[in-house]
Amino acid sequence: MDGMNVIHLFMLLFSLGGLFVSWYINHKKENKEKLVCIVGKDCDIVVHSKWSSTFGISNEVFGMLYYALAAVASALLLLHIDVLVGISVKLVFMVLAGLSAAFSAFLIYIQGAVLREWCEYCLVSAGMSILIFIFHFL
């Protein structure tokens, strides 16, 4: 397996991991179950804050959508399919990954500076998003 395939494989694994974490947070919220966190005192403070949705849609739903698209894009790149219906998969993926990484960094700032509370699931998801973006430059 060449270097680019390894990178795309890691991006696929991070995408699937992010999809699972986003789904898990969403599942807990929809079922009104408490998220048990080790790092923070109360993850629910973060996932139920006013910052937990954007344009009226929960951030987990955006996360699931992004990670599903990232998984598809990673799989396509792993299969050496870079152009789909005349559009560069790598370019679109890089733009989406950049937006997701920037939004993740913003949400990390919100947790630390505004809410002063941490959600480890949110941090893991943000970390995966940022790593996916970084992997575009390797």
Q: Are 120 and 24 in contact (CB under 8 A)?
A: no
In the chain, % of residues over pLDDT 90: 86
Return the CATH architecture of domain 3-135. Answer: Up-down Bundle (1.20)
Query: Mean per-residue pLDDT for 57-77?
Result: 97
Three-state DSSP class for 33? coil
Query: Which letter does DSSP use for residue 38 in this model?
Result: S
Q: What is the pLDDT of residues 34-51, one digit of tens each?
A: 998 887 678 999 999 999
Q: What is the pLDDT of residues 86-126, one digit of tens each?
A: 899 999 999 999 999 999 999 999 999 999 999 999 999 99
pTM of the model: 0.94
Q: Are 12 and 77 in contact (CB under 8 A)?
A: no
Q: What is the pLDDT of residue 121?
A: 95
Alpha-carbon torsion (82, 84, 88, 91), positive or negative: negative
Per domain, the residue ranges of the chain are: 3-135
Alpha carbon separation from 32 to 26, 46, 47, 130 (Å, rounded): 10, 14, 11, 29
Three-state DSSP class for 55? coil
